[in-house]
Amino acid sequence: MRKILVGLSWGWLGIFALLPLMMLFVVSFFHRGVSEFFVPGFTLENYIRLFDPIYFTVFFKSLILAVVTTIFCLLLGYPFAYFMASYGKAARSYLMILVIIPFWTSSLIRTYATMLILRTNGLLNTILLKLGIISQPMEILYTEWAVYIGMVYTLLPFMILPLYSAVEKLDRQYLQAASDLGASPWQTFVKVTLPLTLPGIIAGSMLVFLPAMGLFYIPDILGGAKSLVVGSFIKNQFLAARNWPFGAAISVFLCLLMGAGIWLYFWVKSRVSPEETKA
């Protein structure tokens, strides 16, 4: 039995997960082919090219996009999770489903619908004009704003869910104790609530940050041609530029970068709550 289960899982993961990732790593050292996708060999030129300022800017811009998206999700999601946890059991579970349902519908379709809302003659502008808040339609679509709105919109549920489970676990007696001891609501929040919900904040931030680095279709659709992020950059190397070794090198570099980020996360976490990491 043990052999079957282990064999099946290692067999599949070995062939379709480990092998392709290793091949990608190997290809990143290959030469570019003219008629074929890559020519075996060994070169570091693909990695050296990465340090070209043009490519570096792409990485930097993607990083900023991912970081800002994470911050916005956190700022919008925290109050939501906090308020949500303060309701009774039945209301909470309904709110939970309401947060999950959008996640069940195609994110591509929802991005397209966001595009309809943000268009110059779209719903948002129509409403704002009618209400007299603005006198001229705003150009949001195909700007950075649209990309941020789309990213936050798609990734917000990933922030809310772990935050909610952290806030829900919070023992309200601590809050009571803090206020009994004379702490202001703000002090209670900063000194008690925030540290206790930190694992949820970190988990949610990871769940938002990591996909944000790779999602290429949201900037593609909402940002127009202007916003080149690292995801679409890799995609272009494989499909348009046909430079697979370079595309592979960018991917390896991206993975290293994210690996470093994850390592940093565990490092910070072990400093913040040593007991939990050990358990």
The DSSP bridge partners found for residue 205 are none
Asked whether position 4 contacts other proteins by CB under 8 A, the answer is yes
Which tokens hold the place of 162? 């772990």
Torsion-angle region of residue 265: left (phi > 0), alpha (psi -120 to 50) or beta? alpha
Asked whether position 260 contacts other proteins by CB under 8 A, the answer is no
Asked whether position 240 contacts other proteins by CB under 8 A, the answer is no
Burial 209-229 (b: 16+ CB within 10 A, else e): bbbbbbbbbbbbbbbeeebbb
- Options 114, 197, 227, 243; binder of other proteins; rule CB under 8 A: 114
Asked whether position 158 contacts other proteins by CB under 8 A, the answer is no
- Options 56, 60, 83, 263; binder of other proteins; rule CB under 8 A: 83
Burial 266-276 (b: 16+ CB within 10 A, else e): eeebeeebeee
x/- letters, 37..66, toward other proteins (CB under 8 A): x-----------------------------
Nearer to other proteins, 8 or 194 (CB): 8
- Options 129, 183, 238, 273; binder of other proteins; rule CB under 8 A: 238
Nearer to other proteins, 102 or 195 (CB): 102
Q: Residue 212 CB, nearest distance to other proteins (Å)?
A: 9
Are the beta carbons of 195 and 149 closer than 8 angstroms?
Answer: no
Angle of the 53-85 helix axis to the 198-214 helix axis, nearest 10: 140
Cα–Cα nearest to 138, from 130, 126, 147: 126
Asked whether position 95 contacts other proteins by CB under 8 A, the answer is yes
Asked whether position 10 contacts other proteins by CB under 8 A, the answer is yes
Asked whether position 234 contacts other proteins by CB under 8 A, the answer is yes
Q: Which residue stretches of 132-243 are H helix?
A: 144-169, 172-180, 185-188, 194-196, 198-214, 217-223, 230-239
By CB under 8 A, the count of residues binding other proteins is 78
Tell which positions 205-224 bind other proteins, by CB under 8 A. Answer: 210-211, 213-217, 221
Asked whether position 105 contacts other proteins by CB under 8 A, the answer is yes
Asked whether position 264 contacts other proteins by CB under 8 A, the answer is no
- Single out the segment in contact with other proteins by CB under 8 A; choices: 116-124, 130-138, 167-175, 190-198: 116-124
Q: Could you give the CA distance from residue 111 to residue 109 in angstroms, rounded to a whole number? A: 5
